[in-house]
A and B are shown apart, each in its own frame.
Chain A
Amino acid sequence: MSAAVLSPSPTITIEADPKIGLRGHLRHTGALIRRNLLWIKQDPESMMDAVLMPVIFTLLFVYVFGGSIGQALGGGQAAYVQYVIPGMIAMMSMNIAQAVGTGFNEDFNKGIMDRFRSLPIGRGSVLVAKIAVELIRLLVAVSIQMIVALLVGYQINGHWAGLLASIGLSALFGSAVMWIFLVLGVTMKNAQSVQAMGFLVMMPLQFGSSIFAPTSSMPGWLENFTKYNPMSGLADASRGLMTGGPIAHGLTVTLAWTAGLTLVMAPIAIRKFTRKS
């Protein structure tokens, strides 16, 4: 036997792993972003939800409910357009979160994650790449949303900075929700369950909020719920930013939820992620 190799001889010192430099991280993340973009190229339908959702939702809400809700707002359909478009921007934060969760679920189930983890890269690279691609998708969706919005008569009224801030806030809150979906993505059996579970959680949050309609006409219990519902907070903050209205309460609720979710869910997600075997 080759004792020289085997024996834990004191002369053999174990050198700790060298750190991956910034350039290494960028190279790995870049390669993984390329991979996720290729997914879209191979399967353009995966962009459908990003492209079609804003179009369908906007047309549906503006033309089905716009007139009657607009009246309640003291305007008409035009007033409703100004009301609902910022809400739509808020809603998009959910898409990015959900897509990161389902994407991870697939990577784990198909065994690609094991391949990545057997390579000398930082584990965070896979996550960062996925988030980067979802942010790109978010930007595409927001652009399409704004084009549709302008077509149905939305007025930006010079609130360009507010619009950008609103998109930024949406992305920020979306990345906090992402941790929830990451936990779901790592624990659930398949991408469909992640999606179904996400739907169950997101549906009441989205509709029990001020995204689509003012909450003042809702029953008391629901109105109270909407006050602290982060989706309401985000929609209100967006509305304030994009139309020059009040933002304090909405922004506080959104930031509080963002911080809370991140503090609680991020450690759980990271633990599950590193433990998953």
Chain B
Amino acid sequence: MTRNDKNPESGRPVAVSVRGLVKHFGETRALDGVDLDVHEGTVLGVLGPNGAGKTTLVRCLSTLITPDAGRAVVAGYDVVRQPRQLRRVIGLTGQYASVDEKISGRENLYLIGRLLDLSRKEARSRADALLERFSLTEAANRPARTYSGGMRRRLDLAASMIGRPHVLYLDEPTTGLDPRTRNEVWAEVRAMVRDGVTVLLTTQYMEEAEQLASELTVIDRGKVIASGGIDQLKAKVGGRTLRIRPADPAFLRPLALALEEQRLAGPAAVVRTESGEVLVPIVSDDQLTAVVGAVAARGVTIGSIAVELPSLDEVFLSLTGQKASVAPQSAPEFEEVAV
């Protein structure tokens, strides 16, 4: 997937609009004035650590809890005043909002179809179609408790697709899944987006957001601390970091100075004496190519080289204004290199 434009989606109509949403639980402000938009047919990734308010947000937007203040409109329906109409156009998949483990996959889908006012015949054929699509036909008549983790998640997805939702909430859809199953779920989500579904995805994984989302909103302690296209946000955070370790530590400092002179690393490049590495914040693939080219052109023998994605922790450290461990915002002092 290419995301060259900064924000290709902002021209589309808004499917989910949240303004000043507040939700208290006793003394805690789980949501403290959240604003966000999800554009039609796109995936908005809502990133945040545990307890940031992601799940509370999804629960408000799916009418499971009532916000204390603010407004949220989903597909034209107000979450507080039109909950029932809203429930017809949303799908919900998460750690909660699960299926009935005691009955079969087919019966689960049929039940939800009936609760969505499909006729018996429609409910049955819709269940069959979704079982087929999510590769569950073979296991269709077994109780859901016998399903593997991946099958369970696929059944959850199928369950949320019964009503052909306009907007789908995925609340940490791959938490606890192994990498292979995670890839399967991602593929399913991409397929749904291709079908035109608008997705609000919450996740703790930067990689998941990068894989699926086109725009991101980062929340912490109930507040939006950053939002925008992935590239925008990455640039803001410092993005990827290139670690270069010259085979000969003597080249460390000259290399850093050279990169800075060629305006390839900017003032944020750091020398790490203890590990003998130059760390270069990378904002684009072009810059990455240029830096590697420059290193080669200087004739520096490379001991090791690696591109590192910012971990979510680093993103947060950076966004909350604390000094990030990888890409400091201020110009670093070069330390003397021990030769």
Contacts and interface: CB of A to CB of B under 8 A. Distances in A.
Q: Which of B12, B71, B111 is most buried by chain A, counting CB atoms within 10 A of its CB?
A: B111
Nearest to B60: A277
B159 interface: yes
Given A2-B13, A114-B96, A14 B82 contact: yes
Given A1-B37, A115-B159, A277-B59, A39 B13 contact: no
11 contacts: A16-B81, A16-B82, A35-B103, A35-B111, A118-B64, A119-B87, A119-B112, A119-B116, A120-B84, A120-B115, A120-B117
Contact of B115 (A39, A43, A119): A119
A24 B118 CA distance: 10
B248 interface: no
Contacts of B100: 35, 110, 112
Given A17-B82, A42-B143, A120-B88, A35 B14 contact: no
A159 interface: no
Interface string A5-22: 110100000111110100
B83 interface: yes
Contacts of B14: 1-2, 5-6
A140 interface: no
Contacts of B78: 14
A271 interface: no
B102 A39 contact: yes
B116 A120 contact: yes
B102 to A, nearest CB: 5
Interface in A27-42: 27-28, 30-32, 34-35, 38-39, 42
A189 interface: no
Interface residues of A, number: 35
A228 interface: no
A227 B88 CA distance: 53
Interface string B78-114: 1001111101101010011111111100010001101
B114 A17 contact: no
B103 A31 contact: no
A5 B100 CA distance: 37
Contacts of B92: 114-115, 118
Interface in B165-193: none
Contact of A14 (B13, B64, B81, B95): B81
Contacts of A119: 87, 112, 115-116
B17 A111 contact: no
Contact of B63 (A35, A43, A118): A118
Interface residues of B, number: 42
A35 B107 contact: yes
A35 B101 CA distance: 11
A121 interface: yes
A112 to B, nearest CB: 5
Identify the 8 closest CB pairs spanning chains A and B, nearest first: A31-B114, A111-B98, A111-B96, A17-B84, A120-B87, A114-B97, A277-B65, A120-B84
A15 B85 CA distance: 10
B62 interface: yes
A117 interface: yes
A108 to B, nearest CB: 10
A110 B114 CA distance: 21
Contacts of A154: none
Given A17-B83, A35-B111, A118-B97, 19 more contacts: A1-B14, A5-B17, A5-B76, A14-B82, A16-B81, A17-B82, A17-B84, A17-B85, A32-B115, A35-B103, A35-B107, A38-B102, A42-B102, A42-B103, A112-B100, A114-B97, A115-B99, A115-B112, A118-B90
Contacts of B87: 118-120
Contacts of A28: 114-115
B98 to A, nearest CB: 4
Contact of A6 (B17, B107, B114, B159): B17
Contacts of A273: none
A61 interface: no
A2 B103 CA distance: 44
Contacts of A116: 115
Nearest to A116: B115
